[in-house]
Amino acid sequence: MAFSIPNSTTQSWWLLYLRTGLFASIGVLVVFAGNSQPFVGIALSTLLIIAGLLAIRFRQVSRIPGAATNWFLAAGLLDIVAGLALLFYLHHPDQGIVLVFGAWGILVGLIQAVEAMYVFIGLQTSVESRSMSGTLIHFLNVLICGGIAFMLLLQPLGDDSTQVVGWFFIAFSITLLLLTRRLQVEGENRP
């Protein structure tokens, strides 16, 4: 997620890039491994928990007065809670993936929508608020997360819906990569 962060030579951008890679890994795992094996549930849970910890760690590293880092905390906590919730479905990983990732998609979409509104109306003091591309990327994230929730909760393709969700996670990781890059460029250009 892209947010206004003051420039710092000690920024740990790799934390956000690694988090993006973890979401791509989730997508690849769901596409190719399916969802009916217990190890898939454990792997997805582990990836989500690590992604959440990376977001929270980035927030700690970037904790500067006036910086909008609470979004990282919200995203990180949501990822951790979803990862822990998947552990409750180890005996029925297909049901866990449907329910947990469906709820996760709805909540992440909501967070992205609120964040896009903040950026659009200029409440965040950043270069991003003067550019529509940041708002459009957040809007794409809302659509992608809505697609995740729709495909999982309504299952329009039957059992194949879960594999399609993997492609949504890969698309989500691409938009997160774009947002992370925007954030890094903005941070490096800040006086």
> Structurally, how many domains does the chain consist of?
1
Q: Are residues 82 and 100 in contact, defined by beta-carbon separation less than 8 angstroms?
A: yes
Q: Give tens-digit pLDDT for 1-46.
A: 444 544 453 568 899 999 999 999 999 999 988 766 788 889 999 9
> Exposed (0-12), middle (13-18) or buried (19+): which is 32, by Cβ within 10 Å?
exposed
Domain assignment of residue 24, yes or no: yes
Domain assignment of residue 154, yes or no: yes
User: What are the residue ranges in the chain where pLDDT is below 70?
Assistant: 1-11, 35-36, 63-68, 119-120, 122-131, 190-191
Could you tell me the CATH number of the domain that includes residue 61? 1.25.40
Note down the domain range covering 128: 13-185
**Count of CB atoms situated within 10 Å of the CB of 8:** 14
Domain assignment of residue 141, yes or no: yes
Tokens of 84: 């822990």
End-to-end alpha-carbon separation of the chain, Å? 22
Domain assignment of residue 1, yes or no: no
Domain assignment of residue 33, yes or no: yes
